[in-house]
Structure 1
Amino acid sequence: MKQTLIGIGIGIGAWLCSTAALAQSSVSVYGIVDTGMLAERGGPGGAITKLNSGIASSSRLGFRGREDLGGELAAVWVIENGFNADTGTIGQGGVLFGRQAYAGLSGRFGAVTLGRQYTPYYRTLRDVGDPFAAVSLAGRAGNLMALNTRADNLVQYISPAIGGVRADVAYGAGEVAGDSSKNRTLSGSLGYANGALALQTAHHRIDNPAGTDRVRHTLVAASYRFSRLKAYVSHARNRGLASADSHDTLAGVALPFGRHKVMLSHVRHDDRAAANQDARQWGVGYQFALSKRTDLYAAYAAIHNERGAGFTVGTASDRGGGDRATNLGLRHSF
């Protein structure tokens, strides 16, 4: 009897240990399937209407993991594939995990991650500066403004929020033999969020492979919630190859009410180079939530290009082919 009780106790102990170990590690599968109709006008080849994937959000399949290492330290990782729901093909130019692929450590100190990741600059515009960022419909800022969405070979540190202040710094190795400065990425942001107010600034620099010039973007973005209405404003200074120089300014609002959400924005691209190819965009979008995971959307945007500027109205997964576009579709997340 005593041996039986000991055996039962050992079995229960082993079961509890294995359960605890499982509780300390987790892997989750997530994704988005987004598809809809896209009508473009004003392109060089004429009007076109097509079924597209990734209009409001790029369709994706992701895997996310976390392992508790003790002392509030955890190992984290993400691999995320982008795909085209209309054809079943891989997105991001055929790269298997072209959206994100990184691993790192997180704890009370913040988080350090290494791999292909979103840049601090992009997250500043996405989270603070653009009412269309959560749904990259026709009116999105990225049609006229630089996004600097992801970078390869990125080592990134995100600090914890202290008094509402958070910092994010990143270095992307250029991996050019003989000169570590060529083709590298330097990016960072500093933000403050408290209640209805969010204010953030970011800088992004890419040194070109020749090492003779660099692309630089500096962004200031802010948002403020007035009861239901949320107002957005952002301004970017861009300096690029061949002495390119421009200023981009966005003003917009988002108004959720019940299952509905309406978005409006205006973006102005002020080209300071000799060609003076200015452009401006007006956009309006609408979402209707069928559930917490599924929504319908519609949007329209138009760009007025000046002096030969060639900006087009794009979406989350498509740069677009005309200066006017209408979106209508369905998005489901899991």
Structure 2
Amino acid sequence: MKKTFYIAAAISGAAAVNAHAQGSVTLYGLIDASIQYTNNQGGGSTVAMSSGTTRGSRIGFLGTEDLGGGNHAIFRLENGFDVTDGSLGQGGLMFGRQAYVGLQNDRWGTLTFGRQYESMVDYVAHLTAADWSVYMEHPGDMDLTNRGVRVDNSVKFTKTYGAFTGSALYSFGGQAGSFGANSMWSVGGSYDDGPLYVGFGMTYARQPGARNTGTFWKASNSAIGEYVTVAHSFLTVGGGAAYKFGSLKLGGDITSTTYKDGFEQQNVNFMNYEINGVYYFTPALSAGLGVTYTDGKVDANDGDPRYIQYNATATYSLSKRTDLYAFATFQRAMGDAQVAQVTQFISPSSTNKQASVGLGLRHTF
């Protein structure tokens, strides 16, 4: 009888706490697997299975607790994994995609702390073909729009007012005796109202090569690897817009990326110009085409590395949660750029051309 009383009291107490806190935790995830053919990886063609071709495979927990007075405690823990072998993503981190905790006020905005995305991902990435597939990034993901960048040790403030959302982020470098060394900051925003979306972002990092693995791609892509490693600082600025005309959605973006002292103690700059469009034949069937032109300038030797990349995708929804997709991408390196590489997730070509095509299945829950 006494044991029953204690159990009942514990259940009643827990129910009372839950009723007062009005908290919730949402489990969500995405699984993406494909089979792809790439014509030239170091001189030979490959057929392989890949995870996260269009969206990184993940499982996450999103939590909120009502603190009263319009205040909420929030958190997100998001794990990335490779569906082909079950291994952890992001260098083996348990919650390598996102991990943050924060406070939200219905009037004043949201303040979060942890491992988070910066503004180029939050507001500009949606406008690029990398939103269709990681194989369609701007060369080397030089402007951070391929969602591969998460910023550790960061504080971010986000505020939404009507159709406008803006945010500012600062990441502490953590170097003793210097507040600014290895630090990083980012600002950006978007206007999202019906068929029109406009986004912009700016991100700056000191000593980008000294930051943690996974923040910047350092050596895998011939377009930018050598510059990231030695640069004194990094600045990328970009923006664009998209508009939906009935069944057709057209978009475009422009980004500028500078590696200060990136080569022989002089600057290296890249401009990306992209246009893309998606046509919805039915609510279940859509197809997209896009092209990106990249123009580089190396001040130390007047170098002119250039790239052009063509992207195509098609998606058929089997249900609200499950999609079949196909993609094709082709990159050509020009000028002083000698080697093509459509994405840092595969090996570079041995020539100035590389193409990849694939078929895949994506399921969300």
**Is the TM-score greater than 0.5?**
yes
Output aligned runs, 1:181-200, within 5 Å. 181-200=180-199
Which residue pairs with 2:253 in the alignment?
234
Which structure is richer in relative contact order (CA contacts within 8 A, separation 6 or more)? Answer: 1
Structure 2 counterpart SS, 1:304: strand
Q: Residues of 1 paired with 2:235 and 2:92: CA distance?
A: 28
TM-score when scaled to structure 1? 0.88
1:70-120 CA-to-partner distances (Å, cap 9, x unmatched) read: 112111001111111101111111111110000001122111111001111
Summarize deviations over 1:258-306 as a string: whole Å, max 9, x none.
Answer: 2111111100110122221100000100111011111011000000111
Q: Which amino acid counterpart does residue 221 of structure 1 have in structure 2?
A: G
Tell me if 1:313 matches 2:312. Answer: no
Q: Partner of 1:282 in structure 2? A: 310
Aligned match of 1:330: 361
| Cα separation, 1, equivalents of 2:73 and 2:142 | 35
CA contact (8 A) 1:80 1:97 kept: yes
Question: Is 2:100 the counterpart of 1:102?
Answer: yes
2:266 aligned with 1:247, yes or no?
no
Question: Which AA in structure 1 matches 2:307?
Answer: A
TM-aligned CA deviation for residue 321 of structure 1: 3.9
Q: In structure 2, the residue corresponding to 1:146 is in which secondary structure? A: coil
Alpha-carbon RMSD across the aligned residues, in angstroms, is 2.4
| Amino acid in structure 2 at the alignment position of 1:233 | G
- Following superposition, the deviation at residue 57 of structure 1 comes to 0.9
Show structure 2 runs of 5+ residues with no match.
1-8, 211-228
> Which is worse superposed, 323-332 or 209-218?
209-218
Aligned residues: 319
Cα contact 1:313–1:320 (8 A) shared by 2: no
Q: Give yes or no for contact 2:139–2:307 (8 Å, CA) kept in 1.
A: no
How big is the shift at 1:132?
4.3
**Partner in structure 2 of residue 4 of structure 1:** none
Quick check: 1:62 aligned with 2:86? Answer: no
Identity of aligned residues (%): 27
Q: Does 1:223 align with 2:227?
A: no
Q: CA deviation at 1:126?
A: 2.2
- The aligned amino acid for 1:59 is S
The residue that corresponds to 1:85 in the other structure is 83
User: Which AA in structure 2 matches 1:266?
Assistant: V
Q: 1:165 to 1:244 in 2, by over 3 A?
A: same
Q: Distance in 2 between matches of 1:56 and 1:89?
A: 18
Map 1:284-299 to 2 at 5 A.
284-299=312-327
Question: Deviation of residue 17 (structure 1)?
Answer: 3.5
| Range 56-65 or range 138-147, more displaced | 138-147
CA distance in structure 2 between the partners assigned to 1:187 and 1:314 by the alignment: 24
Find the aligned partners of 1:19 and 1:207 in 2 and give their Cα distance.
45
Q: Distance in 2 between matches of 1:153 and 1:15?
A: 34
- Counterpart Cα distance in 1 of 2:231 and 2:177: 15
Q: Which residue of 2 aligns with 1:7?
A: none
* Partner in structure 2 of residue 17 of structure 1: 16
SS for the counterpart of 2:91 is: helix
2:158 aligns with: 158
Task: Report how far residue 141 of structure 1 moved.
Answer: 4.1
Shift of 1:222: 0.8
**Residue 144 of structure 2 corresponds to residue 147 of structure 1:** yes
Deviation at 1:125, TM superposition (A): 2.1
**Is the CA contact 1:80–1:99 (under 8 Å) kept in the aligned structure 2?**
yes
1-structure distance, mates of 2:160, 2:139:
28
Does the CA-based 8 Å contact 1:300-1:324 persist in structure 2?
Answer: yes
1:176 counterpart SS class:
coil
CA distance in structure 2 between the partners assigned to 1:150 and 1:293 by the alignment: 26
Structure 2 letter corresponding to 1:95:
L
Aligned match of 2:122: 123
Which digits, 9 at most, give the CA deviation of each residue in 1:187-236, with x for residues without a partner?
A: 01032222222212210101005998210001021111111211111001
Q: Against the structure 1 CA distance between its residues 258 and 195, is the aligned structure 2 distance closer, same or farther, given a 3 Å change threshold?
A: closer
TM-score, length of structure 2 as denominator length: 0.81
What CA distance in whole angstroms lies between the structure 2 residues aligned with 1:144 and 1:265?
16
Aligned to 1:29: 27
Show the counterpart of 1:6.
none
